[in-house]
Structure 1
Amino acid sequence: MTLYPRFAAHIDAILDTLAAEGAIPAGLDRRNVTVEPPRDVAHGDLATNVAMVLAKPAGMNPRALAGLVAPRLEALDEVVSVEVAGPGFINLRLTDTVWRAQLDEILTAGADYGRSTMGGGSIVNVEYVSANPTGPMHMGHCRGAVVGDALAALLEYAGHKVVREYYVNDAGGQVDVLARSAHLRYREALGEAIGDIPEGLYPGDYLKPVGEALAAEFGDAYVGKPEGEWLVLFRTRAVAAMMAMIRADLALLGIHHDLFSSEAELQAAGKPEAAEAWLRERGLVYDGVLEAPKGETPEDWEPVELPLFRSTQFGDDQDRPIKKSNGQWTYFGADLAYHFQKAQSADALIDIWGADHAGTVKRIKAAVAALTEGRTVFDVKLVQMVRLLRNGEPVKMSKRAGNFVTLADVVDEVGKDVVRFTMLTRKADAQMDFDFAKVVEASKDNPVYYVQYAHARVRRMNRKRVDDGIADAAVDLDLLDAEELALVKLAAQFPRTVEGAAAAREPHRIAFYLYDLAAAFHSAYNAGNDRPERRFLRADDAAITAARLALANGIGQVVRNGLAVMGVEAVEEMG
């Protein structure tokens, strides 16, 4: 058990004892009791809100309750002192032995340090990317792809079983446009001069190989033929080609999904009809007329009876149609059935969506609540777009793509790790600029470089000890002083950072934490520039060198573990 859960257990035991003695009521709800680092390190090593949380239900003054808990905490061997602060917070100072033991735990656990059982093996379906299969991945997809993939890895690290899913939107009008665009390129491959791409078709050169493959397979069999003879065939072939391209693009980022679900197959299997029938049986779908649009009513608007889902019963502001007047499923009707399908095999669902889909969150949440009768936890994470810059100037579009910058081009220029780390340096719902010049800059203002350099610096120190002929010595962690143990205190926060990030579904917290840890490490390393006695490598003292290298290796291990959760390689050396 790592440090923070261990002290939470100590507090639980103390509360059990106080309840048994009759000093506090039994059965108090302790779920909101926390053990965490104090906001100001001058206040100690740990802080707990136990007295603040339990005082009111216990019918006590917070400081009075703190006065019962504090002496029992101070009696623990690991504790140097306890202080009741302000209205009833309890601050603890721990022995140096505790922190040396923490460093030993980091070194012993290795790649498993920070791994948690918090998830208890519950199954979480994370659906992310799900770009329309109409072209290569572009940077508009990239941020959601990285956030979703890092979140999936984080949840696994925190003890969940994770299913990574991609929903292939292959049943809408956009794939018919794709088929027509592929047919145009097919004719071009057979020698026809097609001129400018007509308005409404996809213009990118990426469809040329698709057209060439169709020409090689079918010759001129579909030249000049009615659309009805080739549309379905060309749509199937084109979607398959686009999905192969998308998979290859995602692989450049190290992203691989477990499951690809087809909207077309979902509809062919009658899943929307099944979902509608299930909801009708429970009175949650009815035939009704939509309210007229707010504001000035369009002249061509007329009331039409449609099957409506009672989403207002689940917090939405109006009931939603699941079919159009022509009998086709609405996007919402198809999505409703898709989420019903996902919920059959998962305890929780998480969707990663672009911020432009914010308006549909309420209705999908309502649908999942209805379809699972409240059993399945469902969360939607909205991801803002990324603005691409080069030295502060907007980046020009890609000729190959037609009207956007491809993910492949960006990864080719700056590398997978830079792209992934950068996408996690801000909250997903905050706007982001991706400047090609800034993300490869070798400075502390570039989090990617700064964190990677911390790990590379640790690895270089190990090599340099050998190169400098500093003798190997037994590791004695008692040689580490308070200044050095401050680094261990920060490293020891990694397990709780993992659990907090997983609970909040916020993988960017790992990037923030790693930057702070790297900054503290670089500061400790640089202290040796002005104070030779603070150097990690001491040619005159093999013992202190061994202890400080153990400290550096512990920090390096935590950085490596955090980067692994983010899907970023911990580099061995940097220029």
Structure 2
Amino acid sequence: MSQTKTLYAAYAEKIDAVLSALELEGALPPDTNRANVSVEPPRDPSHGDLATNAAMVLAKHAATNPRALAETIVEHLDRDPSITSAEIAGPGFINLRLAPQSWLDELAAIAAKGDDYGKSAMGEGVRVNVEYVSANPTGPMHMGHCRGAVVGDALASLLEHAGHEVTREYYVNDAGGQVDTLARSVHLRYREALGEDIGAIPEGMYPGHYLVPIGKALAAEYGDRYAAADESEWLVLFRQRAVAAMMDMIRSDLAKLGISHDVFASEAELQAAGKPEAAEAWLREHDLVYDGELEKPKGKTIDDWEPVELPLFRSTKFGDDQDRPIRKSDGKWTYFGADLAYHMQKADKADALIDIWGADHAGTVKRIKAAVAALSEGQGEPIPFDVKLVQMVQLLRDGEPAKMSKRSGNFVTIADMVEEVGKDVVRFTMLTRKPEAQMDFDFAKVVEASKDNPVFYVQYAHARISSILRKAADEKIAPSDANLGLLGEDELTLIKAAAQFPREVEAAARAREPHRIAFYLYDLAAAFHAFWNLGNDDPQKRIIVAHSPELSAARLFLASQIGQVIRNGLGILGVEAVEEL
């Protein structure tokens, strides 16, 4: 990665150098903690280009008031020719205005870094495990999985751009009763493939036609060997074959969205390896699991309630409202017990964990966070663990609920969506709202060619830039940074918008919020479209200006770098930057 500093990083270093000088002068105590000093755009652009809170956060250390310290800092900043003004605002904020050359240098930095512009070393190689999708292997991917899949994948990419080492993980829930039901459903299709009239699929079984090919494959391989056999003879075999086929289908469906995982962790293998037992033993050793009676459900009258002694995890110690069982009365693991062991396994290979869950799992967050906190206890620093909840998406067609999929029988599949509107539309749209907010996905609106459609608006900006560059090539005009000094205030405004990208990447990564990149790209696209539209009223403000090859070359260079930033941002989101629409 190119090490050329971006503008905000460079000016943060300038502020830091001033603070070091003040330490040498005795205006600040030696080794003053500067962790909370920030350099960022002011909330109101009319106040300047950059603002720093240095005087506000360090005045107490300097045994003075913020405004007095700000005056001392400003004295130093006034000596820097790249800063045209440094003004004190309010109780001690410092607003800076930069010389145009500073922004032109940033434009050159975009060109120098290219695809690496916006990448950061902020993550310092910290290993982050991002687990997402993790749907039961009982059918094709549907809209209930789509949003979490896109959010998780974009978050993983964002964290990589911010310097983290990321593992993308899928937890295969292949040890519960639902996979036995899947195996029985496949057995029905197996008998059907042998010519038997199985009638209507019984309630509780999986009715989707996606199981028909599995039944046919088993019939071709085994004939009628298991048609009338006792379930004990075929259940394990059919379960293994069905899960394997479902996972192939799931991988294929996710690939249509441009999603792949590094690790597929099997719950069945986890249990076969004795991981839950090991987790329980460790927790008992640390007095975090004990045998006790589960509380009677509150607010309910249950006539046949009988207290049962179960192994309980002390989740109340970590903020939960009651201790939770890790085994059922029959000795089998609860979902929580298995999940606890699974997170213990993940924590062995990562410095931080992130889970992407559907909003219907909100009630589980507190207890699993408690479990991870417990498993971190006694092992140094607790491992950071974050759960991102993703709301469901309502599918519409011209404002009306969308029809279900013929393939599945009762839901719309990801494959259906991608086939109709394309991968890029699906991915970008899923990131146009915060994941915890409800979302409508209207098949008609997401393909509209309008400003109100963020997918189109951003891709159109890139396509428009590509079109301009093709036209320039036809006219034998190439982008050039030889005369960037010809660029004026309108161009500098656009450069300032592009220069926000590295900051946005780091801020989005810290907050674990990839949708911020989609929001930023929409704003950058709007800034470019506004700049382009200036030429509608004034031919001298067009990007390609008649009889002004040097100005045209400089503006083309600017446009090409805006295109570069849009490409880089779309790359994080897993969306193609199209060259024509």
The answer on 1:459 being equivalent to 2:466 is yes
Q: CA deviation at 1:25?
A: 3.1
Counterpart residue type for residue 385 of structure 1: M
Q: 2:546 aligns with which of 499, 524, 539?
A: 539
The answer on 1:99 being equivalent to 2:106 is no
- Counterparts of 1:170-569 in structure 2, within 5 Å, are 170-373=174-377, 374-470=381-477, 475-569=482-576
- Give the stretch that moved more between structures: 407-416 or 308-317: 308-317
Q: CA deviation at 1:21?
A: 2.4
Taking the aligned partners of 1:249 and 1:473, their CA distance within structure 2 comes to 44
1:236-278 superposed Cα distances (whole Å, 9 cap, x missing partner): 1000000000000000011110110000000000000000001
Taking the aligned partners of 2:237 and 2:481, their CA distance within structure 1 comes to 70
Assess if the C-alpha contact under 8 Å between 2:479 and 2:556 holds in 1: no
Q: 1:140 aligns with which of 131, 139, 144?
A: 144
SS for the counterpart of 1:562 is helix
Taking the aligned partners of 1:475 and 1:179, their CA distance within structure 2 comes to 68
- Counterparts of 1:57-72 in structure 2, within 5 Å, are 57-72=61-76
Q: Which residue of 2 aligns with 1:153?
A: 157
Taking the aligned partners of 2:481 and 2:186, their CA distance within structure 1 comes to 68
Taking the aligned partners of 1:315 and 1:271, their CA distance within structure 2 comes to 25
SS for the counterpart of 1:182 is helix
Counterpart residue type for residue 480 of structure 1: L
The answer on 1:11 being equivalent to 2:18 is no
Assess if the C-alpha contact under 8 Å between 1:475 and 1:550 holds in 2: no
Counterpart residue type for residue 434 of structure 2: K
Assess if the C-alpha contact under 8 Å between 1:472 and 1:542 holds in 2: no
Assess if the C-alpha contact under 8 Å between 1:474 and 1:543 holds in 2: no
Runs of 4+ in structure 1 off by over 6 angstroms are 471-474
What is the aligned-residue identity percentage?
Answer: 72
Assess if the C-alpha contact under 8 Å between 1:55 and 1:65 holds in 2: yes
Q: CA deviation at 1:482?
A: 1.4
1:178-200 superposed Cα distances (whole Å, 9 cap, x missing partner): 01110111111111111211100
1:337-369 superposed Cα distances (whole Å, 9 cap, x missing partner): 000001111111110000110111111111111
Unmatched 5+ stretches in structure 1? none
Q: CA deviation at 1:313?
A: 1.5
Q: Which residue of 1 aligns with 2:54?
A: 50
Taking the aligned partners of 2:448 and 2:356, their CA distance within structure 1 comes to 30
Assess if the C-alpha contact under 8 Å between 1:473 and 1:542 holds in 2: no
Seen in structure 2, the aligned counterparts of structure 1 residues 272 and 534 have a Cα distance that, compared at 3 Å, is same
Q: Which residue of 2 aligns with 1:167?
A: 171
Taking the aligned partners of 1:104 and 1:296, their CA distance within structure 2 comes to 68
Taking the aligned partners of 2:310 and 2:236, their CA distance within structure 1 comes to 28
Q: CA deviation at 1:281?
A: 0.8
Taking the aligned partners of 1:470 and 1:177, their CA distance within structure 2 comes to 66
Taking the aligned partners of 1:296 and 1:438, their CA distance within structure 2 comes to 46
Q: CA deviation at 1:11?
A: 1.9
- Give the stretch that moved more between structures: 348-357 or 61-70: 61-70
TM-score w.r.t. the length of structure 1 is 0.98
Seen in structure 2, the aligned counterparts of structure 1 residues 472 and 269 have a Cα distance that, compared at 3 Å, is closer
Q: CA deviation at 1:71?
A: 1.9
Taking the aligned partners of 1:342 and 1:535, their CA distance within structure 2 comes to 55
Counterpart residue type for residue 515 of structure 2: H
SS for the counterpart of 2:148 is helix
SS for the counterpart of 1:497 is helix
- Give the stretch that moved more between structures: 376-385 or 29-38: 29-38
Q: CA deviation at 1:227?
A: 1.3
Seen in structure 2, the aligned counterparts of structure 1 residues 84 and 473 have a Cα distance that, compared at 3 Å, is closer
Counterpart residue type for residue 53 of structure 1: V
Counterpart residue type for residue 438 of structure 1: K
Counterpart residue type for residue 393 of structure 1: E
- Give the stretch that moved more between structures: 258-267 or 18-27: 18-27
Taking the aligned partners of 1:433 and 1:408, their CA distance within structure 2 comes to 18
Counterpart residue type for residue 128 of structure 2: V
- Give the stretch that moved more between structures: 54-63 or 310-319: 54-63
Q: Which residue of 2 aligns with 1:89?
A: 93
Assess if the C-alpha contact under 8 Å between 2:131 and 2:152 holds in 1: yes
Assess if the C-alpha contact under 8 Å between 1:153 and 1:566 holds in 2: yes
Assess if the C-alpha contact under 8 Å between 1:420 and 1:566 holds in 2: yes
Counterpart residue type for residue 522 of structure 2: Y
TM-score w.r.t. the length of structure 2 is 0.97
The answer on 1:30 being equivalent to 2:37 is no
Q: CA deviation at 1:59?
A: 3.9
SS for the counterpart of 2:580 is coil
